[in-house]
Structure 1
Amino acid sequence: MSQSTQADPRDPSAEVPLSLPKAWRKEAPDGLAAISMFLSGAVMVMRNRYFAWPALLVAVASYVSAKPMRQKDGGSGFSGIVFAFAAMFSAYLPFLFLPNVAPSQVPLPQ
């Protein structure tokens, strides 16, 4: 029962260094995720519901364009989508629960 040294997967001489694809080598911060988080935070602070839609769009774009090298640090882009939905929920929540009162019916301060 003889084994060839070429067929042995444990042979240290057959080791090759790990080489990543050139497209993944650049460790750049994810700018789309940062923009999405900024817009979502602006929605929650300023109550400007018109920022919620671009925040959601940018969060989805960040999730779609995520690369595996960015995911090793824990940034998958899914948290940006959740944060954008939370911003949209907080912006449109007053429309669901507050009564729609005409301006003529609002009592004037005395």
Structure 2
Amino acid sequence: MRTREHKDRSDICQTAPFALLPTPFPRKLFEQAVKVQNLIATLYHEIAYDYDFLIDCHKEVVKTDSFTKGLIDILKKVRDEGLAQRKTLAIQRSDYMCHKDQFSCEYTLKQVVLSFY
């Protein structure tokens, strides 16, 4: 976050104060999150390299969204010219919460955030 002294500058910042406290989390749901994360990572990897699928899914969006059109144009160029290198790196993050149903009192796993870097 920006400092009081430099409110108008984004290159000078400080970390926001926060506290992390240990919180019990059901092991069954933790293990479920670990298992599903591997499946999600594989799914996103497969989708990322299915160029025709991505182009088809965005065919209506590119008519009105210039940013997405630019990304699809880059994708088409990569598809036509081939990858410059064979190795890729994907950094993915998924955040989950433990949800307690108010009627059955059972706990379920809820995905709240999915990020790509």
TM range (shorter): under 0.3
TM-score (norm 2): 0.23
Q: Comparing both chains, which one has the higher relative contact order based on Cα–Cα distances under 8 Å and sequence gaps of 6 or more? A: 1
TM-score (norm 1): 0.23
Where is the strand percentage greater, Structure 1 or Structure 2?
2
Where is the helix percentage greater, Structure 1 or Structure 2?
1
